[in-house]
Amino acid sequence: MDNPQRHKIEEIVWHELRTIVLVIVIVIFQKIFLANIFGVSLNLLLLLVVLRTLIEPIVTIGRWALYGGLIFDSMSGAWLGMHSIGLILAVVTIFVLLSRITSENWILPIVAVIIGSLVYYFCNGVLLYLLVGSFNILTYITVVFIPELLIILVPALPVFLLLRWLRSMQRGELPLDVY
């Protein structure tokens, strides 16, 4: 009388809860422990979502973007859904533009982080303009976008290589890079 569908639903719920808890830990770590360098901190959630888009299926990363954005909004006091929209649009844009390129290319994470940051901060700027009103776009670019992009580019390649190594270890593959 053991229903296999029941276990499947329980496994799905357990997996989603585990994902939500992991994203909560990442967002709390980002908000509390990552130091501000000249008023700018590393957007760890954006970095992980963008780089995992190159490795994992888009459905999984879409859920990460949704959960992470909602948790980030609730912890930062922003409009609920503001960061989720930016993260989901960044994931979809990266998937559409870069999904046909192999993830073994080392320049790919740098390009993905640049494209993802452009989409994410453009979306946040547009939503900020629509919700708050007019603001100085040059100030937004020089104070928010450029420093955040430069900070997020620094760990992009090492984090990508670590994520790719973890994926290959989970699958039992032998990671071998010959360049």
Choose the weakest-confidence range: 20-29, 105-114, 126-135: 126-135
Q: Once rounded to an integer, what is the mean pLDDT over residues 72-88?
A: 88
- Is 67 among the domain residues? yes
Q: Once rounded to an integer, what is the mean pLDDT over residues 29-43?
A: 77
- Is 10 among the domain residues? no
Is a pLDDT exceeding 90 seen at residue 3? Answer: no
Instruction: Evaluate whether 160 touches 118 at the Cβ level (below 8 Å).
Output: no
Q: Once rounded to an integer, what is the mean pLDDT over residues 48-55?
A: 92
Q: Compute the distance between CA of residue 120 and CA of residue 72 in angstroms, rounded to an integer.
A: 14
Is a pLDDT exceeding 80 seen at residue 4? Answer: no
Is a pLDDT exceeding 70 seen at residue 150? Answer: yes
Domain that holds residue 23: 16-30+40-170
| Long-range CB contacts (within 8 A, 24+) of 11-20 | 16/63, 19/63, 19/64, 19/67, 20/67, 20/71
Can you give the pLDDT at residue 123?
A: 93
- Is 4 among the domain residues? no
- Is 135 among the domain residues? yes
- Is 145 among the domain residues? yes
- Is 75 among the domain residues? yes
- Is 176 among the domain residues? no
1 pLDDT band, cuts 50/70/90, is very low
- Is 139 among the domain residues? yes
Radius of gyration of the chain (CA): 18
152 pLDDT band, cuts 50/70/90, is very high
Number of structural domains, the chain? 1
